[in-house]
C-alpha cells in the first residue's frame, strides 16, 4: 500500500522515526470483555517514540457515556503534554491493525484542527511482521502547545440525529454488525434496547477492511453503493459507542467525501433513551 493523504506504510514510518516533525500515537483500545490491558501491552512493546492516547482518559468527564469527545481546552492540554502540535505529521496505529480505535483517534485530531493526520497501514501487526524495531517502557515527551480549533460541524448530538432522520437532511449510517442493527441479538449492555434508528442505513465496518488495512477506493465505493448510500449527500455515522463509526468516516475521507460527521453518543445514548424511536428488522 502506497502512502497517501490518509495513511503511510510501515516502511515509510521506519524511515522517518528520527524526524522531529513526525509524531507517533499508539491508540490501542480493546472491546470490553476482551481481557486485554492496553496500558500494559503498550509498555511491553510499542513503535519507538510512540506516545499512548487513551480514549477513555482523554475524554469529556462525567458525561455518563464512554469516551465522549473532550473539550477543546482539555484536548489541547492533554495532547500538548504528549508532545504533539497541530502542525506535526501525526501517525496513528493500534494493536490489532483493524483501525477501530486508531480511526477514532484520527477523527478526534481532525475535529480539533490537526493539519496532517494519518493511519499506519496494517497497524502494529504489520510493523512486527516486518521485524521493525520496538521499544518498551513509557517515554517522557517534552510538553508543547497544541492550538486546537474545534470543528463543531464534524460532531453531532442526539437532537441533530433526530432532526436528520425526520427531515432527511443527512443520511445516518450505522457501523454495527447486521444482527445488532436488526435487533436479532440483544446488546451486551442490558440497559440498551436492541434494534436501530428508523431510517438509518446499516454499513458494518468490518467489510471495509482487509488484513488491518482499508480496502481500495473502488471496493469501498461499491460497499457504500450496495448499502444504498448516496455519496453526494451529507452523512452522519453512528455505532455502539462512537468508535467504529469513525471507521466509516475514514473510509468516506478516502473517497473524497467531506460532508460527514459522527454521532458521539451513538447507540449507548440512543438505545438508553426513552425519548427516541427504536425499530427492528432489516
- Consecutive H or E run containing 77: helix 72-81
Question: Which residue in 122, 95, 118, 94 sits closest to 107, CA to CA?
Answer: 118
Cell 502494529: give the residue.
124
In whole angstroms, give the CA distance from residue 192 to residue 266.
11
Catalytic-labelled residue, pool 79, 84, 111, 239:
239
CA-to-CA dists, residue 155 to 38, 116, 239, angstroms: 26, 19, 14
Interaxial angle between packed helices 217-227 and 245-254, expressed in degrees from 0 to 180 and rounded to the nearest 10: 120
Taking the alpha carbons at both ends of the chain, their separation in whole angstroms is: 35
Q: Is 246 among the catalytic positions?
A: no
Q: What is the DSSP letter of 44?
A: H
In whole angstroms, give the CA distance from residue 148 to residue 74.
10
Q: Are 85 and 144 in contact (CB under 8 A)?
A: yes
In whole angstroms, give the CA distance from residue 111 to residue 149.
8
In whole angstroms, give the CA distance from residue 95 to residue 133.
15
Question: Which residue in 7, 14, 135, 145 sits closest to 73, CA to CA?
Answer: 145
Cell numbers at 67, concatenated: 469516551
In whole angstroms, give the CA distance from residue 278 to residue 145.
44
Q: Any idea which residues carry the catalytic annotation? A: 239
Amino acid at each position: 500500500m502506497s502512502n497517501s493523504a490518509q495513511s503511510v506504510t510501515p516502511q515509510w514510518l521506519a524511515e522517518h522515526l528520527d524526524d522531529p516533525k513526525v509524531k507517533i500515537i499508539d491508540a490501542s483500545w480493546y472491546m470490553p470483555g476482551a481481557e486485554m490491558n492496553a496500558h500494559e501491552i503498550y509498555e511491553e512493546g510499542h513503535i519507538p517514540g510512540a506516545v499512548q492516547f487513551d480514549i477513555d482518559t482523554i475524554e469529556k468527564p462525567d458525561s455518563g457515556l464512554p469516551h465522549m469527545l473532550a473539550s477543546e481546552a482539555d484536548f489541547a492540554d492533554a495532547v500538548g503534554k504528549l508532545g504533539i502540535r497541530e502542525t506535526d505529521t501525526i501517525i496513528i496505529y493500534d494493536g490489532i491493525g483493524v483501525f477501530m480505535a486508531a480511526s477514532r483517534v484520527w477523527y478526534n485530531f481532525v475535529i480539533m484542527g490537526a493539519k496532517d493526520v494519518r493511519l499506519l497501514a496494517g497497524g502494529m501487526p504489520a510493523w512486527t511482521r516486518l521485524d521493525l524495531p520496538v521499544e518498551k517502557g513509557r517515554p517522557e515527551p517534552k510538553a508543547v502547545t497544541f492550538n486546537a480549533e474545534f470543528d463543531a460541524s464534524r460532531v453531532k448530538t442526539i437532537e441533530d440525529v433526530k432532526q436528520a432522520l425526520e427531515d432527511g437532511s443527512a443520511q445516518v449510517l450505522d457501523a454495527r454488525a447486521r444482527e445488532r442493527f436488526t435487533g436479532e441479538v440483544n446488546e451486551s449492555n442490558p440497559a440498551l434496547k436492541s434494534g436501530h434508528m428508523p431510517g438509518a442505513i446499516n454499513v458494518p465496518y468490518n467489510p471495509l477492511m482487509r488484513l488491518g488495512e482499508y480496502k481500495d477506493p473502488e471496493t469501498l465505493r461499491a460497499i457504500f453503493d450496495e448499502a444504498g448510500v448516496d455519496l453526494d449527500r451529507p452523512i452522519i455515522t453512528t455505532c455502539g459507542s462512537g468508535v467504529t463509526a469513525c471507521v466509516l468516516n475514514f473510509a468516506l475521507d478516502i473517497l473524497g467525501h467531506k460532508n460527514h460527521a459522527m454521532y458521539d453518543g451513538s447507540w449507548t445514548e440512543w438505545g438508553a433513551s426513552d425519548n427516541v424511536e427504536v425499530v427492528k428488522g432489516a
